[in-house]
Chains A and B, each alone.
Chain A
């Protein structure tokens, strides 16, 4: 436990000094705020762009608050996911590659604590960034667009956060297996996108974690409530535990880059 705290404190310090604690939440906040703001001012933006024929009028049905929240999740799922993967991809492989790990693992340290600290810092960063972004989106939506149904929005947020946790775990897992940063980012992002896309043709009872973003969008938008959310959530948590175990084992058997 003590070593876990030591490792965790070091990770916090590192993320602080490399400004990841600043820019990752900031990107999520921007993404969150952008959607309601852009939606609100869309007619004005179109009007001032000035290349429309005279006399033409466009009427855009103002979307509901829930719809805007759902679109925000879509934003998180593209740019947000990428930023997330890029900011944590070298968390494990970096130390092994540079050689710092040789000095760390020559000391009587626990590999499980080491891996757990990496997971804890990833979950902290993901959670803080997403909560900030989602709260920003919620606030601006309520201010500019319309009301948001609290229970549904919270449920959607919870499910969506699970999806982000899953992607983060996948990235750390890849980081424990591979050395090249580009490879880690490519495989993790690719797998996340594939899983997400597969949700359109996979049957619901497959409970793939890739359903989570879609389910959370449905919570916000659809009139009828989605099914399969519990199954997908449980499978997602199981995957995360599996990834963690394998990564901890990888850390143990591959202490340095030889």
Chain B
């Protein structure tokens, strides 16, 4: 994998299988849900790495693995000079302070019983309690950074609109000056006119502080606008990854092509692109061979029996497809 930037975090062969339901004595054990199934990627310092895919593709689980909210079934996460799985307590603390998150739903991500001041300062209180005295100044500064008034620090979350709440969530994520912020669908719950405000704010923040973003989204246009490099996930696997411009102008994998075709603005008179047949298969029983073979318009014999390995087809552009 070639990245122009120094790697910040590297995920190698990550897997996360969920046991399906409770094991009942008289029922055969159900197959586990393979939410993330052998995923590897590198996020470079200061870059936005986007993961795009449809529901159930495992993109949010990947985010949770990086946030240590889920424990991987297999695979490793390397951060700077250590492996998370065998990290010391001190290294883990350093990791937690360096990786923060912004989630999709700004109504659920702020505790309704806490004032904004406390919400934003919480990461500092938990990780750097000796800085307690600086908090009023830090909070005021963070509020300014995200375009809110300093005077709002004493308000409760319900006094804000959706876009303002998302700004508060971003301010909180910035509190520890992290090196990576995981953005899990940061704008999809917001109104169209507010989305642009938040996306622009995220860009400004990255320009100002130079941290990396892991952007999880289902909207391709959002990913194209924000991400430097993009991975496309389907049924727990990365089917293609490349620099954003490369991926959106020369998509190689038929799934990526279909996603882009479906998200395009169709000109009048233009024949709509052929639609993908069928549904996304269940992640607990993925099809043999290529996982996309059941819906792929270009699938041929080998695709149904042999899983394609990801290969570098152009500099920095990897795809897992037998066509190439």
The judgment on whether A and B are partners is no
Interface of A toward B, CB cutoff 8 Å? none
Interface of B toward A, CB cutoff 8 Å? none
